[in-house]
Every structure is written in structure tokens, then in C-alpha cells.
Structure 1
Amino acid sequence: MGRHARSMLHILEEALDKMTLPSEEEPVLTIADLGCSCGDNTVFTVGAIVKHMVGRYEGAGREAPEFQAFFADLPSNDFNTLFQLLPPPPSSLEQCLAAGGSRSYFATAVPGSFYGRLFPARSAHVFHSAFSLHWLSQVPESVMDKRSTAWNEGRIFVHGSSESTAMAYKRQFQQDLAVFLRSRSREIKVAGCMFLVCLGRTSPNPSDQGGAAYLFGNHFEDAWNDLVEEGLMDANKRDSFNIPVYAPSLEDFREVVEAEGSFAVKRLEIFRGGTPLVVGHPGDPVEVGRALVNTCRSVCGVLVDAHLGESLSNEVFKRLERRATSHAKQLVEQLELFHVVASLYLR
């Protein structure tokens, strides 16, 4: 998702430009990255936020404060790897700006789910979350209940599911987002801003998950079914697993923001993100197949391993690679992700 994060940098900077600078009595500007994971993207983004805010202070003829960055994710996140990616802290802001490679902020890890409180009241100036809010707090209970009309039998994702299943996913997403907004509304400074990015879709139909289907459904789902048909996996094992991801439409997102009521929308749009596949030779089916497997494994491999065990999980991804390779041309032409991008400010 690195290219996608960088391609949206101008929208993030626009959101920061609309934020009122903190008063001169505040010696620290606080940034929180929610769902930070442990890769280069979060380091790049936080660094870009600090750099842009330093420029805003300079433009206003003011001395920039010190910066505090909170990297928040679930306790299972590999914070050690993340912190090894951070440049060394400077002894001063001036040293950082002169050296270029030093870190211009103090870093802290915050373990916990963002579907609830993480910070003291009125403590954060900037909240940023990218490519995380489409992850639900849980698979909707009715989706796993054989007695429910929402039971997602034969599938592991919401794409292509029944209306009942799709609505269960939508309700779960909207309940989770409401809790997220309510929590942030207590934690954000009055003049702060929040910039959010998550997988989105252009279809009004919640069972049509657009590009997300190529990552969590379609060939991936077929790979699970291959193992069931081959007798290597019990059908109940497949049916007891669902990917807790939902790509909302703009309207899905807007409904929650307006109903929850804590935040005003400054910008809310669908952003065309392009393909997540990193391939040097799009005409090479083997490379395309391997790229899809690498992408899928990076975003949901931990869940699959936990459910199936390493051996059976490897078999699933082998089948996926085989199917993706045989459909490489279609993947190159059609796999495209869209994102919901939102700039929100406290009312």
C-alpha cells in the first residue's frame, strides 16, 4: 500500500492546512497513527506530517514545537520491528532539519484496539489512520450461525454473498466506525484534525466489494474450495472462517459520521488507488500469481495460519498461486482498489 499512501499525501497535507495551529502555550504537538502495523508506510507518513507542520509554523512566523508520535495497533503488532525502522532521534529540531535523516519526533507504542479509548481526553492534535478501518472488530455473529439467514455457507468473505450476509457485514462496520468516532471525539484536541483512509467500493451493493474481492474472495475463496473438494479440508473448517473485512461505500461511511455527530466532514471522497500488485513484468503470469499471493498473505496470512495451521495454510496459498497465475491477464487488467478518504474535524 506504500504507493497508495504516497499518492494521497497531497490530500493529507490539505487536511493539515485546514487545522488551526495550536496556541503558543502548547510546547508539544501530538500525532497518533492508528493501525500503524510495522512497515515503512507509517514511518513515512508520520515523518511527512511532522515536516508539513514544521513548514506551517515557519510560514506563520512561529517556532515549531516538539512533536510526539504515538504508534497504535493491536498488542500482537510487531512494535519491535517498527521501532527498528525509525531513524535515530535528534538532539534538537534544528539538527533534524539540517541532517535530513534524523527523526524529528519522540515515538511511543500504544497497544490496543482503536475500537475503544486509547488516549487521555483532549490529548491528540492529529489522528491518522490508513488502510485499517475496513478491518472489523469481529466477524458478525450471525454470519457464523448456521441457524441464521446470514450464514455465509461455502464462502470466506462477504463478496458475492446473500443480502442478509452483506447487511450483517455492513451493520458491523457501521457499529465499529461509530465506536471509533465516539472514542476519538473524546481524545482529539478541539482544534485538531483526523485523516482516515480505508478500502472502499463504488457499487451501492454491499455484497459487491469491488477490488477487495480479488484479495479476500474470488480466487482465494476458490483455493479453499479446492482443498474441500480434494478432501484435504472439511467443509465445516471452511465455513467456520470468514475474513473480517468490509469495504464501505461513501454512503455507508457518511451515514455513520452524520448519525454519530461528533465530527464535521471537510472532505469525503472515493480515491482511485490502482492495483496493489507489485510486478516488474505484468506480462509474466508466474510473477503476477506470486505477487497476488504475497499481497494476500501480507494482509490476512496470520488469520489463515491461526485457523488452519501452517501446513494447510501453505496448501491454500499454493492453490491461490496456481489460480492467480492462470488468471494473470485478468488480474492485471481488472484488479484495482478504491479507498474512502475522509478529513474530519471536531464539531
Structure 2
Amino acid sequence: MAPQGEDVIVPDRKLEMILSMKGGNGKGSYANNSQAQAKHARSMLHLLKETLDNVQLKPASEVPFTVADLGCSCGNNTLYIVDVIIKHMIERYEYSGYVPPEFSAFFSDLPSNDFNTLFQLLPPIAKGSMEECLATDNHRSYFVAGVPGSFYRRLFPTRSIDFFHSAFSLHWLSQVPESVQDKRSPAYNKGRVFIHNANEQTANAYKSQFQRDLAAFLKARSQEMKRGGSMFLVCLGRTSPDPTDQGGPGILFGTHFQDSWNDLVLEVIMIHSSSFFVYIPSLSFKWFADNPFRRSCRIHGLITSEKRDTFNIPVYASSLQDFREVVEANGTFRINKLEIFKGGSPLVVSQPDDATEVGRALANSCRSVAGVLVDAHIGDQLSEELFSRVEHRGSSHAKELLEQLQFYHIVASLSFE
């Protein structure tokens, strides 16, 4: 039997010190499992460019035009988007008859982010004039800096940023709400590792945490953004008014991922009159519970139910109303556009009929975004076991996963005047 999870939990560490997408270039890394995010981002480029057209040009300024990507992670997606932003702004300057300024880009994420992998992907900066930079392939035309820290606090000097971009990040909460992990609270998320299908008190705790976090995010950006600047934000959204129905994220984290945690809790039974163990898949435990011989048995798990219950995915897919309430309460940003955008499936597979590939895609998708948190909570060995079960369950439900697992995104275009 594998070591118990209690021996490996990382104690008393704030979420922001361990949360990150899976780094490196391995099979479960974010860099190798963010094709869906790339596809979704490209489908929204027209909305990004509309937001860039709202940025006021400052031809007389001697300071560079500064872009900040918040929640940059560690793959090529952030570099692609920054290239799009800067090239579009150069075109705007030239169309208006102005000489383009110098450009700088800040890539920001939590200190635990794999900045090394990100910076290794950066092309070298081009030399010479702006025209020469644009004519040079595989070079960048902007200066770069990394900024570690939580975007729920200040990151940049006052009035220093022209354009903020953040995609697929704001649904991550600054913390799991304390009441969700408090056994004495009605919001205690017993038996679950995600908000999906949780009780109303749990859902309200997640919603309140999301709105507090978004309010803090907007307050910080209102101090850092230059007058006439704009912001383009994309985060997971939902179409249901019910926060316990998390849609695509609910299917991703609240079904096969959830069941795999339950597998670790309910692993085997031992019949007292015998000396052997019997593996019982979790789907068979109802049968086991309904049989009279259960009193002669003892259930053994790889982790305790409490260990499962103290793990919660700190993600909230917001409704448009949840989001709008916070922006309007902040009062410093004009809403140019706020809508729900259908992003599609997070699973990118070359052979949809191959159930094994679908299962592997599900496991890697979960691992790439939540693997670091799982590792910290139950250790590498049990984490490997958990995601192996996610893969197996995904393969067993491949067809319905491809049909049902769809993400929606909230797209917000905001201007600061």
C-alpha cells in the first residue's frame, strides 16, 4: 500500500507560493497541454484588436508603450499574444502618421511560475530601427521583464501600463475560502474537491471569494494603468445562473477527477473471516454498502476522506452578472464589451475515436493546471496514482466527454479614462 497522504502535505503555505501551471516540457506540462487555450485565444483575436483600438495613442511621449500580461504561465501562448498586441499597435501608430515608440512587455505570474521555461522560449531581440525589427523573422521588437507576484495586489508603478492582458487566469481564486475547509461551517465542502454540485453555502463562499478577488484586481489595475489605457480579460464563465453548475469546469474537475479522488479513499475491502484483500472499483461501492456482509469487512484507502475533503480546486467560473457587479461597483473602468464566448473543448485530440487518447488528454489537461496542487497535497507517488485513474476513467467515458466537455469564457474589454 502506498504511503499515507498525511505525511506529505505541505503545511502552512499560502496558495500563491505553490500554485502554478505544471512547468517544464514533460507530457503533463502546461507548455505541452495548452493547445486548447491557444485555439480559444486565436478565436478571440478580433475582440482583442477591438480593445486595442480603444487605447489612446500618445505620439509625443518619450516613454515606451508598455504591455503587461497577467497570468502569463510558461508556454508559447503568452509570447504569441504579446506579438499580436505590439504588431497591432505599431500598425495603429503608422496608420495615424506617427513614428512608433519603443515597446516593453512585462510577463507576470506567481513566484512559483516556471519563468525559466518561458524565457527560454523568447526569441532574441532584433537590432536596429523599428522597421528593421519588423522585417526580421524570429526576432522580437520589444524589451522584456518578468514580474513575479499576485495580480490581486499592486505589481507596477502608478500610471505605468498602457495595456493589460489576462487570459484564462482570473478564474483562479487567491485562496480556497476558509469556510469551505472548516468542518464547523455549513459551507464545508465534505466529500468533494470542487464547487460543482456542492451545496448553496459552499457556492456562495466561492462566489464571494471571486468577487472580492476581482475587486482587488481592478483596484490595483486602476492605480497602475495610464489614462487612456485599456484592458482585455478572459476567464472561465458559465451560462447557468446557478453557481453550483460550473459547466465545463464542473465536468473537468467535478466528475472523473472527483471520482478518482474517491477511488483513493475507497480502495479495497478486507473480509474479516479471510486474509485477503478485494479491489472494489468506486462504482461498486453502492452494491457493497447495500449487502449484509459489509459488517464483516473493513475498508482500506490510500488516503483518508478528510485528506480528500481538505483539497479543493480554487477555481470559480463566473456568470456575467457576477462579473458585471464588481466592475460597476469599482466605477473606474468603462465597459466596452462584456459577453460570454463559447470557447470549445479543452481536450485537443488527433483521433477522437481513440478512447485511450481521450483519456490521456483528460488526465494531462487536469494535471497541467492542477498537478502542482495535487503534488503538494498528497505527494508525487499518490498524485501519479490519481491521474492514472483520471486517465482510465476518461477513456471509459471518451465519447460523452468529447460531446459534453465545453468551456465558455467571459470576455471583458475595459477602458480607463
Q: TM-score range by the shorter chain?
A: over 0.9
Mark the runs of 5 or more structure 1 residues left unpaired by the alignment. none
Q: 1:301 aligns with which of 371, 378, 382?
A: 371
TM-superposed deviation, 1:26? 3.3
Q: For 1:290 and 1:79, locate their aligned partners in 2 and report how far apart those are by CA, in whole Å.
A: 26
Q: Secondary structure at the match of 1:32?
A: strand
Identity of aligned residues (%): 65
TM-superposed deviation, 1:99? 1.1
Q: Match of 2:107, as an amino acid?
A: F
Q: 2:61 aligns with which of 25, 40, 43?
A: 25
Q: For 1:198 and 1:25, locate their aligned partners in 2 and report how far apart those are by CA, in whole Å.
A: 33
Partner of 1:72: 108
Q: Which has the higher contact order (CA 8 A, sep 6+)?
A: 2
- Map 1:182-331 to 2 at 5 A: 182-230=219-267, 231-331=301-401
Q: For 1:154 and 1:96, locate their aligned partners in 2 and report how far apart those are by CA, in whole Å.
A: 56
TM-superposed deviation, 1:224? 0.2
Q: Match of 2:404, as an amino acid?
A: Q
User: 1:4 aligned to 2:40?
Assistant: yes
- Map 1:142-157 to 2 at 5 A: 142-157=179-194
Q: Secondary structure at the match of 1:232?
A: coil
Q: Deviation digits for residues 280-335 of structure 1, max 9, x if unmatched?
A: 11111111000111111111100001101001011111111111111000001111
Q: Which moved more, 1:189-198 or 1:91-100?
A: 91-100
Q: For 1:33 and 1:71, locate their aligned partners in 2 and report how far apart those are by CA, in whole Å.
A: 5
Contact preservation (8 Å) 1:22, 1:191: no
Q: For 2:339 and 2:251, locate their aligned partners in 1 and report how far apart those are by CA, in whole Å.
A: 22
Contact preservation (8 Å) 2:152, 2:217: yes
Q: For 1:325 and 1:118, locate their aligned partners in 2 and report how far apart those are by CA, in whole Å.
A: 43
TM-score (ref. length: structure 1):
0.99
- Map 1:86-165 to 2 at 5 A: 86-92=122-128, 93-165=130-202
TM-superposed deviation, 1:25? 2.2
Q: Match of 2:353, as an amino acid?
A: G
Partner of 2:120: 84
Q: Deviation digits for residues 130-157 of structure 1, max 9, x if unmatched?
A: 0000000000000000000000000000
TM-superposed deviation, 1:31? 0.3
TM-superposed deviation, 1:95? 2.0
Aligned length: 347
Structure 1 runs (4+) greater than 6 angstroms displaced? none
Mark the runs of 5 or more structure 2 residues left unpaired by the alignment. 1-36, 268-300
Q: For 1:247 and 1:22, locate their aligned partners in 2 and report how far apart those are by CA, in whole Å.
A: 36
User: 1:172 aligned to 2:209?
Assistant: yes
The alignment's C-alpha RMSD in Å is 0.8
Q: Which moved more, 1:1-10 or 1:111-120?
A: 1-10
TM-superposed deviation, 1:216? 1.7
Partner of 2:293: none
Q: For 1:261 and 1:9, locate their aligned partners in 2 and report how far apart those are by CA, in whole Å.
A: 27
